[in-house]
Amino acid sequence: MVETQDANSQHRRVCIGVLFGGRSGEHEVSLASAQSIIDNIDQTQYEVVPIGITKEGEWIVGGDPMKALTSGIASASSPAALLADPSRRGLWNIRSSPDEQQVGERSREQAITAVRLAELDVIFPVLHGTYGEDGTVQGLLELAGVPYVGCGVLASAAAMDKVIAKNIFVAHGLPVLPYAVITRKAWRRDPEAVIASIEDSLPYPVFVKPANLGSSVGISKAHDRTELPDALDLAARYDRKLVIEQGIEAREIEVSILGNDDPIASIPGEVVPCREFYDYQAKYIDDDSELLIPAPLDAETTAEVRRMAVAAYKALDCAGMARSDFLLDKVTGELWVSELNTIPGFTKISMYPKLWEATGLSYPELIDRLIELAVERFEDKSQSETTFTVKEGA
Ligand SMILES: Nc1ncnc2c1ncn2[C@@H]1O[C@H](COP(=O)(O)OP(=O)(O)O)[C@@H](O)[C@H]1O
Ligand SMILES: [Mg+2]
């Protein structure tokens, strides 16, 4: 652990920056997940520094950033920045000094001051979707040299992109439903040709999805040709790359995975959506979707889904955590890998932590373990050399 000595007390608590909000359609979901983590983390071990990111991308700390984001009143919070410079670790407040107005343009640089706001031992990015779950924030955290919870840059980006993830699953022999990929450009240029090519390879119904998103935003089910153009138009609002997938009557099975090089699987759970499929409304607005824990599956299917969940996690080279989602064909009993969520919903009633609870790991213990894994991965990576010197005479 990264616990360090403090001048005033024997030990200071491990300082955890909890990062939430962000420039994503899942901003609000992130606030709920982060609030749960802040409320349930073991405060005797950890000192929490809440770090809010506004919908415009501004980082704020101090005061009550959660309140600032929910109410829009930034009261005692101040702007903060994490620098892509490991020699200046922690959060910085970069501001213009008060007399900036009086200094001329030429000396403006000297009027900008940087004040370190907090030294952070570990950052827990609780950001769902774009600019958070997709490897972008992870890249910043790598450059900043701060250990962080969850997957690295590559796994985050690969899991976020449904096309790339499918390609990797296929390469690892994991079953994925038949699908087609088209670009927004191709759709807008020649709709008839696109429809013909989709119909060549897939029977209706099909699910049309933006390649990079989450929370079912931009996803619709086209039951026949008349519904396909609207479905493609909708998905094309959110991404330049669209996935069209064979639609099946499916049970939705989810498994929580935890670990770095030796990941473990929770017992499986099942989502029973209250609508035709698990769309945004069924996920967050209607209250009637059900979570069945454990999923009512026979022993053989349970073992298979857990095996495949770990295999999918390893295929994407995940670390820390992810939730592996499956579709189980109600008619044929076939099991298909659907997707991996690298920062799954994390409220106390979300599937990811609930599956761990049912497997024997409480919510605070889970947070603890994730922080340990973050440090373990950081220390592992720190052992790799980053410079190369050619020996003379070699
Ligand atoms: N091929 C499919 N067949 C049946 N249902 C599907 C299919 N693809 C997606 N769905 C439904 O749409 C939901 C959202 O799709 P998913 O690929 O998980 O996107 P997201 O990343 O937004 O969660 C799923 O939970 C499921 O209810
Ligand atoms: Mg999903």
Residue 79: the pLDDT is 86
| The pLDDT of residue 205 is above 80 | yes
Residue 119: the pLDDT is 82
Report how far ligand 1's centroid is from the alpha carbon of 41 (Å).
32
Q: Is 372 helix (H, G, I), strand (E, B) or coil?
A: helix
Distance, in Å, from the CA atom of 147 to the CA atom of 162, rounded to the nearest integer, reads 27
Report how far ligand 2's centroid is from the alpha carbon of 380 (Å).
31
Ligand closest to Cα of 26 equals: 1
Q: Give the tens place of pLDDT for each residue, 335-348.
A: 999 999 999 999 98
What is the band of 75 on the pLDDT scale with cuts at 50, 70, 90? low
| 346 located within any domain | yes
- pTM comes to 0.91
| 386 located within any domain | no
Report how far ligand 2's centroid is from the alpha carbon of 286 (Å).
17
H or E segment at 258? strand 250-259
230 and 305 assigned to the same domain: no
Distance, in Å, from the CA atom of 103 to the CA atom of 109, rounded to the nearest integer, reads 10
164 and 302 assigned to the same domain: yes
| The pLDDT of residue 4 is above 50 | no
| The pLDDT of residue 102 is above 70 | no
| CA-based end-to-end distance of the chain | 40
Residue 296: the pLDDT is 97
258 and 224 assigned to the same domain: no
Domain with residue 265: its CATH number is 3.30.470.20
120 and 32 assigned to the same domain: yes
231 and 199 assigned to the same domain: yes
112 and 162 assigned to the same domain: no
H or E segment at 143? helix 136-144
Q: Is 41 exposed, middle or buried (0-12, 13-18, 19+ CB in 10 A)?
A: buried
274 and 345 assigned to the same domain: yes
Residue found by looking up tokens 């107005």 in the block: 101
Residue among 198, 209, 245, 338 whose CB has most ligand 1 atoms within 8 A, to mutate:
338
Report how far ligand 1's centroid is from the alpha carbon of 277 (Å).
7
Quote the domain boundaries for residue 374.
158-175+248-378
Q: Give the tens place of pLDDT for each residue, 154-192.
A: 999 999 999 999 999 999 999 999 999 999 999 999 999
Nearest CA to ligand 1 atom 14: 216
307 and 167 assigned to the same domain: yes
66 and 143 assigned to the same domain: yes
Total number of domains in the chain: 3
| 129 located within any domain | yes
295 and 306 assigned to the same domain: yes
